[in-house]
Amino acid sequence: MKYLIVGLGNIGLEYENTRHNIGFMALDHFVDKQEDCKFSSERYAFVAKTKHKGRQIILIKPTTYMNLSGKAVRYWMIKENIPEENILIIVDDIALPLSTIRLRKSGSDGGHNGLKDIISSLGNSNFNRLRFGIGDAFSQGRQVDYVLGKFSQEEAKVVNEKLETIDEIIKSFSVNGMERTMNMYNGK
């Protein structure tokens, strides 16, 4: 059994640790906790592979930039022969309060360009996603500055605690599937 975990973000130092890169941050946190697991630069993504309870987990951070994330997702899904139900996309969400985690089996792009491109590339929206709330504490017309801004020290503490939860969710998803994982973690 193979599982594809995709953390959305943008490559480059200017985007490192920004709200929009929470997907990259989540996968970096997960990989740092695994033995003998490191990212390597491969086609369309930084890729790391590990195992958990007999399941192979392939983690990718697309290098195509956020708005072309679908290219990397489709490529790795086909290359590794992973069905849509075994894919989990980790993405930031301004519609959710800071550090709120919401798991869904499908849905719209919610105005998120990364999800929009994945839906376009796959031809449907029937893939699992973990939406990580980054809040909406920005004034009118300042959304881009906000999502591309870094977390404050206070926010970073809260985010780091939730990254531990995401580690648990990734493992649960690979062993228990999405339905049980949603029941365990949604609303926590």
36: left (phi over 0), alpha (psi -120 to 50) or beta: left
The encoded tokens of residue 187 equal: 């609303």
Give residues with Cβ within 8 angstroms of 15, minimum separation 6: 9, 21, 148
Q: Tell me which residue of 132, 130, 124, 131 sits closest to 84, measured CA to CA.
A: 124
What is the C-alpha to C-alpha distance for residues 117 and 134, in angstroms, rounded to an integer? 20
Annotated active-site positions, please? Answer: 20
Q: How many CB atoms lie within 10 A of CB 102?
A: 17
